[in-house]
Amino acid sequence: MQKRIIALITLSIIGLTNTANAYTWPADQLYEESLLAERIASTCYNKPNGQQQFRRVYIINPDGTKNYINKGNGVYRDRFTKEDGYEITTDCYDFNTGYITDYDVGYDKQITKCDNPKAIGNITKYRLFEKWTSAKLINNLKTGFTVYSVIDTCKLPEFTQQSETKTEFCPINYIGKIVSSRTYNLYADGTKDNYSDWTKTQDTCVSRQTESEWKSCPQANYVGQIVNERAYDLYLDGTKNNYSDWVKTQDSCQLMNTKTVENYNCATKAPSYPLGFTLETWTRTVKDGIATDWKLNRFYPIENYCYYSEDKVTSTDIASCPAGQTGKIVKETHTKTKRFFLGYSKNDSSYIVETENSCKASGPLTVEIKPGSETVSCDVYYGTQAGTYTGNVTKTGDYITIFDPVSGATNTTFQAKSEDTTSCVKEITTTTKELIEEDCPTGFEGKITKYLVKAESSTGTVYPYGTTPILDSNTCIAVSVSDEINAPSAEHLQDSVLSNLSFTTTSISKSDLIINELNKIDTSKVEGKAYIMNVSADDLSAGAFDSTKISNLVKTFKTKLGTKSTSVKLTSAPVTLDKYIGQDGLTQSRISKERLALSGTSVNNGTVTVKYVSLAKSTPEHFSFTVKVFD
């Protein structure tokens, strides 16, 4: 029993008799009405039929858990549990004789003030509760309160509802004002309460704003933009009205010219794909008739058509020898393929190479093998124009005589085993023009200028590099007897000039002046005779001439003067390879590295055909290409 005495002392120390000091109750709860109790009966450990009763007082927390107010007092309901906080209500008794009740139901009432301090009257609560009767308890706590009736006599004093207003300034950059109002209760003693929320009754705040719109240029091929601006009234709620008309504040539209140029620069752009060309897009803008310089388009600058040439054996054909012979003939079909930088390929050409011919007569055969040699000039050996090289090439081998038993014929052929080209020396080191001036035909005045290309050898010898003079310029103008006596009229001078025009491809390509002047011709005052235009191709390097401009000039000439009355001639073409840079993959580096030499040119209508040879290998390799000067 010593343990229970200690527990009772502990309860007394806690001071639950004065409950206001024993526990801090929630502000929204009354102390008594918040108390509940657990009642537990437990068998006495020293009396087999004995029973004692306990209670444990607690408060329900907002989360539903229990908060025991005597937790830690050291009183347990039996010796096996460690849950303390109990109080003994009934000590051990013989439960066979009947259950002992340790509480009664009690009744009381509680009178409190009205919730509203201005109200008159009170609130009366009628309650029932558990009233503990045990003498073992050292305090008289009541638990399990239930309110079964409430009488509320509270009554508010009379009041009037009033209203008030306030005026506020508009936010920064707005003009006007904001007026708000609210209501409240006004009592006889002058106090106020029950204020409503402020309600906006007037809002005249407005701000003059501007907005812009951006539009694309309406004309085709124009770049830039048009910017328009207008003003409007903006209210605090986001409403807009009172729009002004749109006013143009910016117009940067300008015409965009575009041209595409073929550039034979693959060797530098893509060294692994040295052949072919690139298409470069150049642009300029024109505003108010003033054009900017041409510039490479940085968004779509280059279309790459660079390639390298690949030579592969695509098939091998083994054929039998002709009747009467044994052995075989092996031929390989080679295909040259252009492998383009962009990843696709294109078959360029194919050729057949005989790699083996072991045919021998199957019948009687008489063969005479006689050592010998043959000599040809270096020009013949390399297939170049006479005078390009000095020296001869000596071929050493065997003269083989074969008797064909089928036909009964004997045939002797020379089979070279070695070739000596050491005496071949390229003679031409530079070329110059030799001008030739001729008088115009009868009835014309002016001059005809032609030239011969002179080739200079390493020994200083000069000889023609072609014997047909090339037309350089023709200023011949038709005249009449009356012209020699009287000053010619402007119309006659015009007609005379048109009778024999001469231009270079460079002069036509560099300026629009020639075609502009041609467009000014008064066709009503021409005499309707034959009119000639001579076009001399002085430089056909890529980018040095404009085929479109030249074609437009030719078309204008024929349209103005009549197709039947006009004749346009391409009179000459360049005779040095440096004037064809960019054509057929020609570069200055390639000309030097591959030892390229011009072997001939021909002119047909508006097209120039160029032939040249590579001397980089022991056996010369021939090439040709065409350049369209005008349509």
The tens digit of pLDDT for each residue in 541-562 reads: 998 999 999 999 999 888 888 8
Confidence of residue 46 (pLDDT cuts 50, 70, 90): confident
Distance CA 70, CA 129 (A): 20
Distance CA 132, CA 16 (A): 14
Residue 474 lies in a domain: yes
Listed in sequence order, the residues at least 6 apart from 380 whose beta carbon sits closer than 8 Å to its beta carbon are none
The beta strand positions in 421-524, using DSSP E, are 425-426, 428-439, 444-445, 447-457, 462-464, 470-474, 477-478, 501-504
Our measurement of the distance from residue 308's CA atom to the centroid of its chain's CA atoms, rounded to an integer in Å, reads: 29
Position 619 scores a pLDDT of 67
Confidence of residue 128 (pLDDT cuts 50, 70, 90): very high
449 and 510 together in one domain: yes
The beta strand positions in 421-461, using DSSP E, are 425-426, 428-439, 444-445, 447-457
Residue 175 has pLDDT above 80, yes or no: yes
Please state the rounded mean pLDDT for residues 214-242: 94
515 and 533 together in one domain: yes
141 and 18 together in one domain: yes
Least confident span in 110-114, 308-312, 375-379: 375-379
Return the higher-pLDDT residue of 430 and 58.
Answer: 58
Residue 485 has pLDDT above 50, yes or no: no
499 and 553 together in one domain: yes
Residue 117 has pLDDT above 70, yes or no: yes
Closest CA to 601 of 581, 619, 623: 623
Among the ranges 142-146, 348-352, 518-522, 524-528, which has the highest mean pLDDT value?
Answer: 142-146
Strand partners, 451: 435, 470
What letter represents residue 619's amino acid? T
Return the higher-pLDDT residue of 253 and 382.
Answer: 253
Please state the rounded mean pLDDT for residues 384-395: 77
Phi, psi (rounded to 5 degrees) for 598: -70, 130
Give how far Cα 170 sits from Cα of 178, 201, 236, Å.
Answer: 7, 14, 9
Position 429 scores a pLDDT of 58
Residue 174 lies in a domain: yes
What letter represents residue 55's amino acid? R
346 and 279 together in one domain: yes
Residue 463 has pLDDT above 70, yes or no: no
356 and 367 together in one domain: no
Q: What's the mean pLDDT when you consider all of the chain?
A: 81
Residue 226 has pLDDT above 50, yes or no: yes
- Check: CB of residue 557 under 8 Å from CB of residue 551: no
Residue 197 has pLDDT above 90, yes or no: yes
Residue 259 lies in a domain: no
Please state the rounded mean pLDDT for residues 72-93: 84
pTM metric for this prediction: 0.32
Q: What percent of the chain has pLDDT over 90?
A: 29
Distance CA 257, CA 223 (A): 10
Is residue 302 packed enough to be buried (19+ CB in 10 Å), middle (13-18) or exposed (0-12)?
Answer: middle
**Predicted confidence (pLDDT) per residue in 554-598, tens digit:** 998 888 888 778 889 898 888 888 899 999 999 988 988 888 888
Domain stops at, among 134, 152, 170: 152
Confidence of residue 22 (pLDDT cuts 50, 70, 90): very low
Closest CA to 514 of 477, 549, 473: 549
Distance CA 380, CA 134 (A): 146
Confidence of residue 407 (pLDDT cuts 50, 70, 90): low
Listed in sequence order, the residues at least 6 apart from 483 whose beta carbon sits closer than 8 Å to its beta carbon are 492
Using CA of residue 254, residue 259, residue 260, residue 266, what is the dihedral sign?
Answer: negative
Position 539 scores a pLDDT of 93
Position 564 scores a pLDDT of 77
Residue 2 has pLDDT above 80, yes or no: no
Domain range holding 578? Answer: 428-628
- Check: CB of residue 108 under 8 Å from CB of residue 146: no
Least confident span in 147-161, 318-332, 365-379, 380-394: 380-394
- Check: CB of residue 308 under 8 Å from CB of residue 274: yes
Strands 222-223 and 462-464: unpaired
411 and 272 together in one domain: no
Taking the CA of residue 7 as centre, how many other CA atoms within 13 Å lie in the half-sphere pointing to its CB? 20
Position 609 scores a pLDDT of 93
302 and 415 together in one domain: no
Residue 258 lies in a domain: no
Residue 257 lies in a domain: no
Residue 579 lies in a domain: yes
Q: What percent of the chain has pLDDT over 70?
A: 81
Distance CA 335, CA 625 (A): 20
Give how far Cα 5 sits from Cα of 11, 19, 44, 73, 138, Å.
Answer: 10, 21, 16, 11, 12
Give how far Cα 588 sits from Cα of 269, 296, 581, 583, 593, Å.
Answer: 15, 23, 7, 11, 9
DSSP letter for 72, please. T
Return the higher-pLDDT residue of 609 and 466.
Answer: 609
Position 625 scores a pLDDT of 95
Position 239 scores a pLDDT of 94
- Check: CB of residue 38 under 8 Å from CB of residue 55: yes
496 and 586 together in one domain: yes
Residue 485 falls in which region: left (phi positive, over 0), alpha (psi -120 to 50) or beta: alpha
Listed in sequence order, the residues at least 6 apart from 333 whose beta carbon sits closer than 8 Å to its beta carbon are 313, 314, 315, 316, 317, 350, 351, 352
Confidence of residue 204 (pLDDT cuts 50, 70, 90): very high
Residue 311 has pLDDT above 60, yes or no: yes
Structure tokens at 199: 């309600």
Position 12 scores a pLDDT of 29
Give how far Cα 329 sits from Cα of 165, 171, 401, 461, Å.
Answer: 118, 103, 20, 50
Please state the rounded mean pLDDT for residues 391-412: 78
435 and 583 together in one domain: yes
Position 466 scores a pLDDT of 60
How many separate domains does the chain show? 6
Please state the rounded mean pLDDT for residues 437-451: 76
536 and 489 together in one domain: yes
Residue 152 has pLDDT above 80, yes or no: yes
